[in-house]
Chains A and B, each alone.
Chain A
Amino acid sequence: MTPSKLRSAHERLVLDASVLINILGTGRSNIILQALNRIVLVDEIALREVTIDPFSGESSATVLSDLRQSGLIEVISMGNEAYEMFISLTGGDPPDDLDDGEAATLAQAAFGNYVAVIDERKAVRVSGIQFPELELLNSLDLLTSQELLEQNGRDAIVDFVHLALRNARMRVPPSERPWIVNLLGDDRARECPSLGFYSITAMEKRRLG
């Protein structure tokens, strides 16, 4: 059904702020993280960047605290070696430098052998340069994973993607937009401005035959 790249071998995930925001945006973070059934890590620096819960529009403090207490996310901090890497990423020559949360996520993944889940376009590019072997996933890989499909069904997956797009304005690379529009259907896709002009033109083209 979906081209999710999440595999059973991906046992430990480290989420960037850009991804955690999207999961919170669904308002179903408990269900999603439980269904993933993996160790989900967030660096403390990336966590501090998630200040607002996009689902409620309120402070994210309570929802994040609940996720931590229920063990659905584990907050980690960098050791010395990872921190050296973090500094080299935050202090890279522009435009190859990264903000603290993105750099912390990649440094943790590189040193902890975790799979980084990150949507940020520039961070993905920099990761390709600095850590060509590092496996990266994005929000869509989690929200449309086989695990979520099996446990919650197709309708729930459509809801998760729709809510993340609508409430958190999840970023979607242009190459992924066609199947996302197909997944959501025209009416729901139209409610998601972060799908960009593509969704509009695709719909218009279909209507025009």
Chain B
Amino acid sequence: MTNLLDRIDPIQLGERLRSARARAGLTQQDAAEKLGMARTTLITLEKGQRRVRSEELKDMAEVYGCSVNALLRPHSVSVSLVPRFRSIAPDEEDAADAAVLLNDLAGSQVELENILGISARPQYPPERSIGPGDIRDQAEDAALETRQRLGIGLGPIPDIVSLLELEFGIRVFIRPLGAGRISGLFAFDDQIGACILLNKNHPRERRAMTAAHELGHLIATRNQPDVVDFHAAPQSREERFAAAFSYSFLMPAAFVRRRFAELRQETGAFSPRHLILLAHQLSVSEEALCRRIEELNLLPSGTWDSLRDRGFSGDLVRQVLGDRATSEESTFPPRVWYLAGEAYRRGLLSEGQIARMLKTDRVELRAMFDALGAEEGAELDSL
């Protein structure tokens, strides 16, 4: 049998090896030491000036933590979002890991599109720079304009992930992120477009706020990557704009004012029960809604803090909403799963390849395939 490594383009392979090393966060010197080869040899291989031997490829795949298939697969896409995050969160290990995850998932989605022959046609909202003057007013205007563009009026947004993916073509991923401090990440790249990663460990309502926050970044400052950490108070004008945008986008002032007045009229007062029902209607947390109501001067500032001090808790929410309190109904999985399911259904990629591309456990992947009907014999027209 002819050795495949004698036929493959050494320059292309060298570039993939360089990219895999960089993704693993290794310098040429570090990598050469781990591989037990001279740095000059590694440079020669990465430049494609000499063909890689099979044992070298095996060692590189192990040291770089990637598969041989990913190194050899012609469709594999190299994305370099990671370095952009280093400048904004240089010492945060969780943020660095999340940046690598977003980078790899975005690359995998582009590869899936290439394999399926689908080209992404994003229709992002226009960019608008933050001007002088009140940030909140500008965010409110931008949120209303975005809603108008989407044709969704002032009503609730039950599934913002689908909205961002289907209406704007933003790449959205939902995965567990670190110890829970990070809510999400945003990055924009001219070639792959806008990408958002949301923390799966956070409640759905919080993920929605994060997604809206990152949409704010896409509108105002798309060329700056962002890591959302709700524990840190927003300092910069850009962060304050994104935070205000998320509130305005998910809880339009006119809608909140009207519903607040209606609910108060029913019983003569706005109760915690009303807060729970309205938050559920808007798919936001009770805290976010209460702070929004305070911001709109419908309730005194500090109402939420006082409610919390008096023991407002998830128990009350569960009493009011019952099973609906933890429901994920009416949400759809991000588009990348559909692409993966289609590639699997057509036999273009194997379960192992997709699990590795999407960095997921095999059984979890199988569950997603079952839910999407990606298996043979699951087509409706075969029933």
A residues sitting closer than 8 Å to B (CB atoms) are 17-18, 21, 25, 49-52, 54, 80, 83-88, 90-91, 93-95, 97-103, 120-123, 125, 167-169, 171, 173-174, 177, 193-194, 196-198, 201
Chain A positions within 8 Å of B68 at CB level: 86-87, 90-91, 100, 103
For the complex, is B167 an interface residue (Cβ under 8 Å from A)? no
Q: Whole-angstrom distance between the alpha carbons of A201 and B382 in the complex? A: 10
Closest chain-A Cβ to B374's Cβ sits at a distance in Å of: 10
* Cα–Cα, bound, A121→B347 (Å): 7
The answer to whether residues A98 and B350 also contact, given A21-B363, A90-B69 and a CB cut-off of 8 A, is yes
Structural contact, A97 and B69, CB atoms closer than 8 A? yes
By the criterion CB–CB under 8 Å, are A120 and B3 in contact? no
On whether A169 and B352 interact (CB within 8 A), knowing A91-B8, A94-B74, A94-B75, the answer reads: no
CA distance A120 to B370 in the complex (A): 15
- B377, A87: Cβ atoms under 8 Å? no
B370 touches A193 (CB 8 A): yes
Q: How far is the CA of A194 from the CA of B353 in the complex (A)?
A: 19
Question: Do B347 and A87 have beta carbons less than 8 Å apart?
Answer: no
Whether B366 is near chain A, meaning CB under 8 Å from some CB there, is yes
**Residues in B neighbouring A201, C-beta threshold 8 A:** 383
Given contacts A51-B361, A125-B347, contact A99 B1 (CB under 8 A): no
The reply on B351 being an interface residue by CB < 8 A is: yes
Chain B: interface secondary structure?
Answer: helix
Minimum CB distance partner of A121 in chain B? B347
Contact B353 A99 (CB under 8 A): yes
Set of chain A residues within 8 Å of B61, measured between Cβ atoms: 100
Q: B352 contacts A52, CB within 8 Å?
A: no
- By a CB distance below 8 angstroms, the chain A residues around B1 are 84-85, 88
Residue of A nearest to B362 (CB): A21
Chain B residue at minimal CB-CB distance from A103: B69
Do B375 and A196 touch across chains, with their CB atoms under 8 A apart?
yes
Residues of B that sit less than 8 Å from A by CB: 1, 3-5, 8, 54-55, 57-58, 61, 67-69, 72-75, 115, 347-353, 355-356, 361-363, 366-367, 370-371, 373, 375-378, 380, 382-383
Which residue of chain A has the shortest Cβ distance to B353 in the bound complex? A99
A123-B350, A174-B376 given; A97·B370 CB < 8 A:
no
Contacts of B378 in A (CB 8 A): 196-197
- Of chain B, the residue at the smallest CB distance from A21 is B362
**What are the residues of chain A within 8 A of B380 when measuring CB–CB?**
197
Q: Which residues of B contact A125 (CB under 8 A)?
A: 347
The 10 lowest CB-CB distance pairs between A and B, nearest first, are A99-B352, A174-B377, A91-B72, A169-B366, A193-B370, A122-B350, A90-B69, A99-B353, A95-B348, A196-B378
When the two chains form their complex, are residues B366 and A100 in contact, meaning their CB atoms are under 8 A apart? no
Known pairs A100-B67, A122-B347; A198 contacts B366 (CB<8 A) = no
- The smallest C-beta distance from A144 to any residue of chain B, in angstroms, reads 20
Compute how far the CA of A123 lies from the CA of B354 in the bound complex, rounded to whole angstroms. Answer: 13
Q: How far is the CB of B75 from chain A (nearest CB, A)?
A: 6
Give the residue of B366, B367, B371, B377 whose beta carbon is less than 8 angstroms from that of A197: B377
CA distance A122 to B375 in the complex (A): 12
Residues on B with C-beta less than 8 A from A122 are 347-350
Known: A21-B363, A120-B350. 7 other contacts (CB 8 A): A49-B352, A94-B74, A100-B67, A100-B352, A120-B351, A122-B347, A196-B376
Q: For B5, what are the chain A residues with a Cβ–Cβ distance below 8 Å?
A: 87, 91
Residues of A within 8 A of B361 (CB): 51-52
A sample of 21 cross-chain residue pairs with beta-carbon separation below 8 angstroms, ordered by A number, consists of A18-B351, A18-B362, A49-B352, A49-B355, A88-B1, A94-B73, A95-B347, A98-B352, A99-B356, A102-B350, A120-B351, A168-B366, A169-B363, A171-B351, A171-B375, A173-B376, A174-B377, A193-B367, A194-B375, A196-B370, A197-B380
CB closest residue in chain A, given B379: A197
Known A-B contacts A84-B1, A193-B370, A194-B370; A90 and B67 likewise in contact (beta carbons under 8 Å):
yes
Cβ–Cβ < 8 Å partners of A51 in chain B: 361
Which residue of chain A has its CB nearest to the CB of B376? A174
B350, B355, B377: which has the most chain A beta carbons within 10 Å? B350
Q: How far is the CB of B364 from chain A (nearest CB, A)?
A: 8
B348 touches A94 (CB 8 A): yes
Distance to closest chain B CB from A21 (angstroms): 6
> Contacts A102-B352, A120-B352; is A177 near B377 (CB within 8 Å)?
yes
Which B residues are in CB contact (< 8 Å) with A120?
350-352
Q: How far is the CB of A16 from chain B (nearest CB, A)?
A: 8
Q: In the complex, are the beta carbons of B377 and A198 less than 8 A apart? A: yes
Q: Measured between alpha carbons, how far is A80 from B3 in the docked complex, in Å?
A: 12
Q: Is the CB of A99 within 8 A of B376?
A: no
B306 to chain A, nearest CB (A): 41
Give bound CA distance, A194 to B115, whole Å. Answer: 25
Closest to B366 in A: A169
Q: Provided the pairs A87-B5, A94-B74 are in contact, do residues A101 and B352 lie with their beta carbons within 8 angstroms?
A: yes
Point out which of A87, A171, A174, A193 has the most chain B C-beta atoms below 10 A from its C-beta. Answer: A87
Let me know if B366 and A171 touch, CB within 8 A: yes
